């Protein structure tokens, strides 16, 4: 039972719509639905159940996340993006039919030394410029040879990761060229994975996806455009609507302030509404005055600092606001990217940062 009206409304139909849209623009290849970070904050169970009929596989960040996906009932291909670092984890990979990423020598040695009843499909990560995870390109063939000769490996997907696909950047073309060269010259792999959501959209990184190419889609599936290709957002349906009620109304005279630090002062007689949403719920404390929200179908702006449990908005121009009215903090009417801009952060951060005390309600 939830008494507080604050909630994150999750639309399964929006996730399905977005997955089908991604499949259309892929024009081939296989779709890997990324459900790490509790389904990008949407809840792993609703995300998995909405995506399952529309993807060819899924990906989690680490073992505990992968097991949560399996516990949701999903039995298809499942990749662990950070890979495994122990024999115990590899045993679970065998038992649960999981595919670990191999991005370093320690992980490769662990696979070579494991005692598994049947082999695993693994994803070999090569560093083409991200410099976060992955084998140096000059060691790629050696790593492939070792995997190919191991009785614990049934097949290999060769992968890399784009560092700047969300915008125009000279390194996009460089990474694409390096990965194309690798895939042409290396032997011992059976599939490829280079594109993330933004890489699919960026003209600098696009190429025709072949039957065994995997697209790793994350943010796009949840209805948010991760790229600078502006027209894409009109094709997507935001899957999360963050909503909280008005719990108080105050009339301020000119010169009066609201909130900690008196960071917002009325320039004339104003009405402010207190909303049951704060940084403990995942709303960004650094959001600036004027950050958009919506109440009674009208756009309003943040007024004053966000506190732990509450924030305040200027509703002077909105007629009839009452205690209990829903305020949309982001969703179908308030672009989460705009809120992120006002808080000097990114939409990934906001969606995954919605805390556990905000119920996810399937709509």
Partnered with residue 248 across adjacent β-strands are 274
**Active site residues per annotation:** 36, 260
Q: Pairing between strand 120-125 and 153-159?
A: parallel
pLDDT tens by residue, 228-247: 777 788 899 999 999 999 99
Residues 6+ apart with CB under 8 A from 50: 12, 13, 15, 16, 19
Q: For the chain, which residues make up each domain, given as ranges? A: 12-225, 240-362
The whole-number pLDDT of residue 269 equals 98
Q: Do domains 12-225 and 240-362 have the same CATH topology?
A: no
Is the overall model pTM greater than 0.85, yes or no? yes
CATH number for the region 240-362 comes to 2.40.37.10
> What does CATH list as the number for 12-225?
3.20.20.10
Segments in the chain below pLDDT 70: none
What is the pLDDT at residue 94? 95
As given in the structure block, the two tokens for residue 2 are 């939830």
């Amino acid at each position: 039972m939830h008494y507080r009206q604050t909630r994150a409304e999750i639309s399964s139909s929006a996730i399905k719509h977005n997955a089908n849209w991604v499949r259309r623009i892929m024009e081939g290849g296989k779709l890997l639905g990324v459900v790490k970070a509790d389904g990008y904050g949407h809840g792993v169970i609703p995300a998995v159940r909405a995506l399952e009929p529309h993807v060819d596989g899924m990906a989690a960040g680490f073992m505990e996340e992968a097991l949560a996906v399996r516990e949701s009932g999903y039995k298809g291909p499942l990749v662990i993006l950070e890979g495994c670092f122990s024999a115990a984890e590899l045993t679970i990979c065998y038992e649960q039919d999981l595919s670990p990423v191999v991005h370093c020598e320690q992980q490769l040695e662990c696979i070579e030394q494991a005692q598994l009843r049947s082999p695993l499909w693994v994803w070999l990560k090569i560093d083409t410029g991200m410099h976060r995870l992955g084998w140096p390109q000059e060691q790629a063939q050696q790593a492939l040879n070792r995997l190919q000769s191991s009785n614990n490996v049934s097949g290999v997907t060769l992968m890399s990761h784009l560092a700047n696909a969300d915008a125009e950047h000279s390194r996009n073309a460089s990474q694409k060229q390096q990965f194309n060269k690798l895939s042409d010259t290396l032997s011992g792999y059976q599939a490829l994975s280079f594109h993330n959501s933004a890489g699919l959209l960026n003209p600098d990184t696009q190429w025709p996806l072949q039957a065994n190419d995997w697209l790793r889609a994350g943010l796009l599936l949840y209805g948010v455009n991760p790229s600078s290709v502006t027209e894409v957002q009109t094709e997507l349906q935001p899957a999360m609507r963050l909503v909280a009620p008005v719990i108080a109304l105050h009339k301020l005279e000119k010169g009066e302030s609201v909130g900690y630090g008196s960071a917002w002062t009325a320039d004339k007689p104003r009405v402010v509404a207190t909303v049951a949403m704060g940084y403990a719920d995942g709303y960004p404390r650094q959001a600036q005055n004027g950050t958009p929200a919506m109440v009674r179908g009208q756009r309003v702006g943040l007024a004053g600092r966000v506190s732990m449990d509450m924030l305040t908005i200027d509703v002077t121009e909105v007629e009839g606001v009452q205690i209990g009215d829903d305020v949309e903090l982001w969703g179908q009417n308030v672009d989460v990217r705009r809120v992120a801009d006002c808080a000097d952060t990114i939409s990934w951060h906001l969606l995954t940062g919605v805390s556990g005390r905000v119920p996810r309600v399937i709509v």
